[in-house]
Chain A
Amino acid sequence: MQVSKTVTAWAGAAAVISLALAGTAKADALSELATAAAKGPEVLWYESSKESQIDKVIAAFNKKYPNVKVKHIRVVGGNKMAGRVVQEVQGRGYTADLVSSGAAQTWALNDRNYLLKTDWSKLGVPKRVTPTDFAVAIAASVYVILVNTKKVPAEEQPKSWDDLTKKKWMGRIGGWVRAGAHTQMSKVWGQDKAEAELRKFVALKPFLFKSTFPMAQQVAAGEVDVAIGFFHTAQPPISAGAPLKRIALDPAPMHTIYTAVTKSARNKAGATLFLSWLVTSTGAKAYEDATNRGSHLLEGTRTHALVKEAKTAEYPAEETGTYRKVAKKFNKILSSAGAAR
């Protein structure tokens, strides 16, 4: 018993020491990165949020690292962003230091060997946000039900996937013109059930919107009464006082947003430092507060709270190829919504 106590005490001490050492090592690594980053040029970041939103994120970063300059360029559309990266690398040999996009784009860039591999654990980045060594999950776009509270009384509001396919929504429901939600749901439901649910949705003659931000506005305006949209896209009209409400889905489909450091980055240290900071509790909060897109993987964010009780539906990054195939098939089915009209 005495031995056991001694062993336990030693083991505890060893754990504390190794944690302290790891902490010291992490602090050293970050400190070295910060020193190197401050000597480099400004970190160029391609990301899709508004400049005014990202200004706040960069300001929060500069509170901790005032000597590392970050410049954000808004590039809307993940595919176009990836296309631009390819062209810049091919044309002049370098592109942005940091690129934030979806799994399909990030993996496509990695297939071209454009992304830098990093040992993120040395920098204290949680394993759950680094499914791979070339990308870090910084946030997620989570699908929710959007409801116009003036048009749909509380007792009639849909609360589940089953509610959404009821006939009463015929001609009153909206969705994104891409079948992203149903594609991700196929990971949980299986392809057959997801396809059957998608066909039920199509039979309701939904209004399909090119972008989910305007869709949220159209729900607010009463053009459609309910829609399957993203949590963050509903925030602007809600903040402006629109009669719009979000209802969580269970399972909740989502698209994770990844950020990667490029191999051609001109300030690799700065880019790595910034990305490590972005997934700290301070960085994640700053990003979520600014853009309304938070990380479902990091505790303390609103997005984590939104989905922690629900099952999430998303193809893991390594199954991006399967996602692409299902998405292609489902997009085609969704485009037949016009023929049903």
Chain B
Amino acid sequence: MNASASVATDGPLYRGDDLKVRWKQRLLSVMPSASLGALLVWLVIVPLVLILISSFKPTGFPMDTGWTIDNYIRTYADAEFWALVLNTIQFAVGSMVVALTIGTIVAWLVERTDMPMRGVVRVLVILPMATPPVLMAIGWVMLLSPRTGFFNDLLQGLFGLSEAPINIFSLPGMIFVEGLALVPSTFLILSPAFRNMDPSLEEAAFTSGAGLLTTIRKVFLPLLWPSIVAAGVFLLIVGFLVFDIPGTIGMPVGIFVLSSQVVYLANDSPTGLPEYGIISAMAIFFLVLVISLAWAHQRQTRRQTSFVTITGKGWRVRPLPLGRWRWIAFGFICFYFLLAVVAPVGILIWSSLTPYQAGVSAEMLGKLTLANHLDFFSNRRAVSASINSVVIALVASTAVALLSFLVSWVVVRSKLPGRKFIDVLSFLPIAIPGTLIGVGLIYVYLTLNFIPIYGSIWIIIVAYTTNYLSFGSRATHGVMLQMHSDLEEAARTSGAGWFRTTRRIVAPLAFPAIAAVWIWVFAHCMRELTSALLLKGADNTTLPVLLWGYWTGGEPNKAAAVGVWLVIAMLLCVVAWQILAARSRSASGREAA
């Protein structure tokens, strides 16, 4: 049974050759994908068209006169561009490998093994996501800089070294920090996939005498392939576009990547105006890259049944006993936490307590102050920015979670026409630099002033929904691919309509992924800066914009204080999420019983 039929069976089943009825049926069958497609076209295609127009404009402003291909010539005929591409590839691939390796191991240990304190790990693992990347980068500079880095001082003191053993200002340094920063995202993509994997498969492998490595190679990796590819593609693109870490760690020593060039062209070009034409021409490169990766991803996951692990057969996750490896695994997690959470958050707290930027030293202990935190709570703009940020994050994360679920259902579970188009549409925004999404939206909502959202929080919500849909849909795709169609067919055979089947079968099974998307988008909305800065009006300032204000205004310690409270807010949010998830699981258990 295909999905179009499933849509029709919600109402009475029409038969006969009545033309009207057949048209109505056809209309109903295309309605879901058509409405979703229309929404995505509005969110994605409109800014994309503006970017395309911009790339052919001499000034880069879409409403200016004249046409040219000069932006493409200046971009792609420049050897410097390709040198930057090479740097960027090294950075992006390196970060992806680090994040995928650590993220996969952490997700497996948390979801599939009997490692101690898994619940706590699940909560804490995504905390670094709440730390604004620029603060994380500066934190790592304070920890691993060859001149003033805390760890370097420590190692030099302990081992009597004459020179600092680690230099954060290097390509490996950038990869290390970006890789660590991307682990929470990897975990959130892979964790639901691990959770939904039928344990009988790995048990069968072990029973048949396969070792751990063979089981990983022959069972885990093939089953998790869609999610791993989705995570890999996502991480690769993020690595191509991210600026904070290359800007803070690479730029001081002259390691430039493509995003450095985008920032230069937008902010520092001596022409006095942003060079949107060149940026747009560069964005076309990202678009081609993303479309190629999306196509490769589609080819990889074409044989959908290969990845199905959620079937009608009931099972319970039985954690794999690690035996004597249990505490070694826990030690690995502790080490990861030391690097990814304790060190950067610790340095963030330290910075928030110092009156000016200073390394960790006994001398500074006497100067520590709560002034930066008190300033945060007594500042009316901080209160207003906090409210704006929370509202934006709540609405955008809910919108992305819902849209991602619908997109994945249409693309993966249905046979609706246009689903491949919807798949590509949902993935394209990742290729658009935040600056250009902002530029596109400004034009759209300034021109269509009957939608009065310019300068309000709603234009930021639209930007975030567009921007984060790529991550959301990739994360939910993986889980949808794991579900066997038997489940929905059984429900429909029992008389359930599309809505009921979705509500009772598909949504609960996809819930871990949807919740992961929600929390990921929430965290990223709370810290996103580029679009918020560009779309800033009089009354829509967000916390990251406030934080950026402190940072660029020479008050990094106040920025760190905001960062500390962002981490605390995120911690509370994740704990609440875990409690709700646990209640939901126990309620489902009772219902099933």
Contact = CB atoms under 8 A, between A and B. Distances in A.
B553 A324 contact: no
A235 interface: yes
A328 B251 contact: no
Contact count band on A? 35 or more
Interface string B245-266: 0011001111110000001101
B269 interface: yes
B270 interface: yes
Contacts of A74: 536, 549
B145 interface: yes
A189 interface: no
Nearest to B265: A79
Contacts of B356: 217, 220-221, 236-237, 240-242
- The CB with the most chain B CB atoms within 10 A, among A82, A88, A236, is that of A236
Interface in A172-203: 174, 177-178
A223 B148 contact: yes
Given A79-B273, A104-B271, A235 B554 contact: yes
B274 interface: yes
B254 A208 contact: yes
Contacts of A105: 272-273
A77 B272 CA distance: 10
Nearest to A234: B554
Contacts of A236: 356, 553-555
Contacts, number: 176
Contacts of B266: 77, 79-80, 83
A236 B379 CA distance: 18
Contact of A338 (B63, B255, B267): B255
B381 A214 contact: no
B63 A90 contact: yes
Contact of B147 (A208, A220, A222, A336): A222
Given A50-B549, A80-B274, A222-B148, A91 B538 contact: no
Given A73-B538, A338-B254, A87 B443 contact: yes
A281 interface: no
Nearest to A232: B554
B449 interface: yes
Interface of B: 61, 63-64, 138, 141-142, 145, 147-148, 169, 247-248, 251-256, 263-264, 266-274, 276, 355-359, 367, 379, 381, 439, 442-443, 446-447, 449, 454, 533-534, 536-538, 548-549, 551-557
Interface of A: 49-53, 71, 73-80, 82-84, 86-88, 90-92, 102-109, 174, 177-178, 207-211, 213-214, 216-218, 220-224, 233-237, 240-242, 320, 323-325, 327-328, 331, 335-341
22 contacts: A51-B381, A53-B553, A76-B552, A77-B267, A78-B272, A83-B273, A87-B439, A88-B442, A92-B446, A92-B447, A105-B272, A209-B251, A214-B556, A220-B358, A236-B356, A236-B554, A237-B554, A325-B270, A327-B270, A335-B254, A336-B254, A341-B254
- Smallest CB-CB A-B distances: 10 pairs: A338-B254, A91-B446, A104-B272, A108-B272, A236-B554, A213-B554, A327-B270, A242-B356, A217-B357, A240-B355
